[in-house]
Amino acid sequence: MAFLYNKHVSITGISACVPSAKKINIENPRFAANDIQAFVKNVGVEEYRVVEPDVCTSDLCVAAAEKLIADMNINREDIGILVFVSQTPDYHFLPNTACILQDRLKLSRETLAFDVPLGCSGYVYGLNIIAAYLSSGQIKKGLLLVGDTGSKTVNEKDKSAAMLFGDAGAATILEYNEKAVGIHFHMATDGSGYKAIIIPDGGFRKPFSTDSLVETTSEEGLIRAPKNLHLEGLDVFSFGITEAPKTVKKLYEAIEITNEQVDYAIFHQANKMMNEKIRKKLGLPEEKVPYSLLKFGNTSSASIPLTIVTGLRDSLIDSASKVILCGFGVGLSWGTAYTTLDHITVSELIEY
Amino acid sequence: MDKNEFLKAFADQFDETEPALITLDTKFKELEEWSSMVALMIIAMADENYNKKITGADLRESDTIGQLYERISSR
């Protein structure tokens, strides 16, 4: 039962960056128009953003971080920890991208910096890690950078994934403050489902070889090679509609709150059918559950901050809002956070 | 979990297929309207109506609606 509470820590600023190039699903020439229409209606993605080949997740994160640091007028010396949550780092195994980012962002050499290779659950995990480091009070501020360039991992001919994943990066500042209400977490893992979302080749279990490039067609007619992302959509759906409501309910029970004490519930943007099912199971009204799926697709670990920036900016700037943040997916891994966003800085969306 | 109720709920997930064509012996993946979207709706229906989890393997390894019912009703 991983319930965790980090006192004296709060989220104080959020920014997000997307590439400027759009892909409009209905214009995709590879798939039949009625299939695409059904996809848009059910999965809820009309368009998404894609990076140029030479742009990495880290580049989107640098743009998001620079804007946030400027908007919050942060002294870079105060940032004592940088965590980069991504499954699309600059280099496959070494070095960690977070180290490169420490230098690119001109942070102090006294900064802890490391990568956390999680996906859809990664934002909540990243918050939890930084909150744990900050709660002793020895580090004043932490910078969480999250995101992925999913467009580089999917096969364009794979109908299950080609129209779903968008590229994005996001930055979040957390601060130590003795008066903060803190952040509550519930975190969980079920590695028995590791094959549900996987890139089979290119690691040390199955090193990259010429076979990694060979495309095959699955029983369901999905075309992909072992170097591509493989998504078992039905299993992921089944997992999401079961576990996402459960983790939120578990946290509700542990800290004795109900939907009444939640102004907004921001979920990882997986798939509209899945997310709506989760929302209805929890009895959350539509106006408390914003989406960014329609215009940006599933943006992996950036989906929660991107939804906040694109959907809640005006509401959050001048208010103290109680929020649920819930991420779930690849691993399988999931987690929920509950906190108050008290007059935080939300930067305008950046286009790279 | 009632077999005929499950069958009716299963058939309800289709828009264009004649309900008469959907019986416990129907090889559902051979129906013209069968798609991954219908599969998602079947999974959601089983969760909502019966609190039962259907996986991709359940759908892959069942040919008829009756077989799918047997697989999940015992859970």
CATH no. for residue B41? 1.10.1200.10
Mean pLDDT of chain A: 96
Q: What is the mean pLDDT of residues A203-212?
A: 96
Three-state DSSP class for residue B1 = coil
| Number of domains comprising chain A | 1
Please tell me the pTM assigned to this model: 0.94
**How distant, in Å, are the alpha carbons of A23, A49, A62 from that of A20?**
10, 7, 15
User: Among A236, A265, A23, A43, which Cα is nearest to A149's?
Assistant: A23
Interface test with B, best of A41, A197, A237 (most B CBs within 10 A): A237
Cβ atoms < 10 Å from Cβ of B18: 8
Cβ atoms < 10 Å from Cβ of B16: 7
pLDDT, residue B58, reads 93
Cβ atoms < 10 Å from Cβ of A200: 16
In this structure, are residues A174 and A140 in contact, taking their beta carbons and an 8 Å threshold?
Answer: no
Give the DSSP H or E segment for A48: strand A47-49
Asked if the model's pLDDT at residue B66 lies above 90, the reply is yes
pLDDT, residue B20, reads 86
Q: What is the mean pLDDT of residues A191-207?
A: 96
pLDDT, tens only, A125-184:
999 999 999 999 999 999 999 999 999 999 999 988 999 999 999 999 999 999 999 999
pLDDT, residue B75, reads 81
- B→A interface, C-beta within 8 Å: 35-37, 39-41, 43-44, 47-48, 53-57, 59-60
| Number of domains comprising chain B | 1
**Residues of chain B neighbouring A38 (CB-CB closer than 8 A):** 35, 37
Report the percentage of chain A scoring pLDDT > 90.
95
Range of the domain at B16: 3-73
CATH number at residue A68: 3.40.47.10
Asked if the model's pLDDT at residue A101 lies above 70, the reply is yes
Of B43, B47, B48, the CB nearest to A234: B43
pLDDT, residue A1, reads 62
Range of the domain at A180: 1-352
**Residues of chain A neighbouring B53 (CB-CB closer than 8 A):** 238, 242
pLDDT, tens only, A19-50:
999 999 999 999 999 989 999 999 999 999 99
Confidence of residue B18 (pLDDT cuts 50, 70, 90): confident
Report the percentage of chain B scoring pLDDT > 70.
100
**How distant, in Å, are the alpha carbons of A236, A284, A292 from that of B43?**
11, 21, 24
